[in-house]
Amino acid sequence: MYSVELKQVDKSYDKEHLVVKNVSVTIEPGEFFVLVGPSGCGKSTLLRMIAGLEDITSGSILIDGKIADHLPPSKRELSMVFQNYALYPHMTVEDNITFGLDVKKILKKEKKQKCYEIAEMLGLTDYLKRKPRHLSGGQRQRVALARAIITNSPICLMDEPLSNLDAKLRAHMRSEIRELQRKLGLTLIYVTHDQVEAMTMGDRIMVLNEGMIQQVGKPIDVYNTPVNSFVAKFIGSPPMNLTTGLVDKSSAEITISEQISLPINRLVANNLNSDQVLVGIRPENIKLYEEPSSLDLSFEVTLDHVEILGTETLLKFKWNDNSVWYAKWYGQWDIRVGQTLRLTLDSDSLCIYDGHTEKLLQGPRNIQHQHVQEGIV
């Protein structure tokens, strides 16, 4: 198991525009580390720089504590699974799997034995004599995985390997890859734009946007306490609801709408760059109004859309300057489009962001087991 460390890594294809900006992070030995972000944010470029397929413009990459900036891919002791699997169409599954061993001059008998062990582990024994064109998408995925792990490289890189599969197969392969990583003790760096993959697979995730790190941390911590409004809107399905609020510093109160005001920490209020904030709440923390409390954060809405998903019900409505908001409730609710409901915000679940910098000022108070976060904006 090797660690991978990136120190102030930049990447530019011309002298003006940086596609990766000042990325510094340490990936621990044996960690399943996920790079997640929208298309074009630089995550695949970052992975290719670790692999040695792209040169870095500045900074350093350390593999197992040793500088690897100028090492060719073959000397970095890593394997890679590409988005398009990159299988050789003229070779059998067996030859595709063992292709990486050919340069290592391993005995034919040993090579065959290793191939059968890996094939049995991944359920490919019956397909070893077939060509890739005779395989399904999931089977090709497993062949690409087998080729990556047969070399016993301590680091494995994966670039959106499940994006070509259907939803059911993706869910199955998520757990299969995770189990395999634990079993083999690999340091695995995984690129995806799918936040469900990031949340369910990673020991830690790194959220990227426009080539810059937004936040690094355990998936549940990133979900519960996004460090800026971009992470709040990107992580979560549906995303966090956000609306604008005005701060009265003298009374240390935020006015969200004509009916709703809430207190803010006076120290936080005094350190604001402007009198405007963004108030955010996850859809599952918007409740049906039942009885008045000391802090009334209730409001009335007309439902634009309702989805009953079996185990949960999703409500869509417009509120406060016609912002589109969502509420998500457990169970099956008999609610119709056009119905008027009185909802309320859970005050302990609110995130408050600076209206100018969009950085987190005050996180939710109801998080029980909060972990230390690593995050920069």
Q: Which of 180, 189, 243 has its CA nearest to residue 216?
A: 189
User: Residue 240: its pLDDT value, please?
Assistant: 95
Rg (CA), the chain: 25
User: Residue 367: its pLDDT value, please?
Assistant: 66
List of residues 6+ apart from 179 with CB closer than 8 A: none
Does pLDDT of 48 surpass 90?
yes
Claim: this prediction has a pTM higher than 0.85: yes
- Can you read off the two tokens belonging to residue 247? 């701060």
Paired residues of 314 in beta bridges: 307, 328
Looking at residues 239-243, what average pLDDT do you find?
Answer: 94
In this structure, are residues 47 and 208 in contact, taking their beta carbons and an 8 Å threshold? no
Does pLDDT of 59 surpass 70?
yes
For residues 276 and 255, give the distance between their C-alpha atoms in angstroms, rounded to a whole number. Answer: 10
Does pLDDT of 366 surpass 60?
yes
For 61-93, write each residue's pLDDT tens digit. Answer: 999 999 999 899 989 999 999 888 889 999 999
Does pLDDT of 188 surpass 90?
yes
Looking at residues 84-110, what average pLDDT do you find?
Answer: 86
User: Residue 302: its pLDDT value, please?
Assistant: 96
User: Residue 294: its pLDDT value, please?
Assistant: 65
Looking at residues 121-147, what average pLDDT do you find?
Answer: 90
Q: Which CATH class is domain 4-224?
A: alpha beta
For residues 313 and 284, give the distance between their C-alpha atoms in angstroms, rounded to a whole number. Answer: 10
Looking at residues 220-235, what average pLDDT do you find?
Answer: 95
DSSP string spanning 217-277?
Answer: E-HHHHHHS-SBHHHHHHSSSS--EEEEEEEETTTTEEE-SSS-EEE--HHHHHT-SSSEE
Looking at residues 118-144, what average pLDDT do you find?
Answer: 90
Task: Decide if 4-224 and 229-362 have a common fold.
Answer: no
Does pLDDT of 374 surpass 70?
no
Percent of the chain with pLDDT over 90: 62
Looking at residues 339-367, what average pLDDT do you find?
Answer: 90
DSSP string spanning 148-182?
Answer: HHTT--SEEEEESTTTTS-HHHHHHHHHHHHHHHH
Domain ranges of the chain: 4-224, 229-362
Does pLDDT of 213 surpass 60?
yes
For residues 113 and 121, give the distance between their C-alpha atoms in angstroms, rounded to a whole number. Answer: 13
Which band of pLDDT confidence, cut at 50, 70 and 90, is reported for residue 368?
very low
DSSP string spanning 60-125?
Answer: EEEETTEE-TT--GGGS-EEEE-TT----TTS-HHHHHHGGGGGGT--HHHHHHHHHHHHHHTT-G
Q: What is the largest CA-CA distance in the chain?
A: 80
User: Of the CATH numbers 2.60.410.10, 2.40.50.140, 2.60.40.10, 3.30.70.20, which one belongs to the domain with range 229-362?
Assistant: 2.40.50.140
Q: How many residues does the chain have?
A: 377
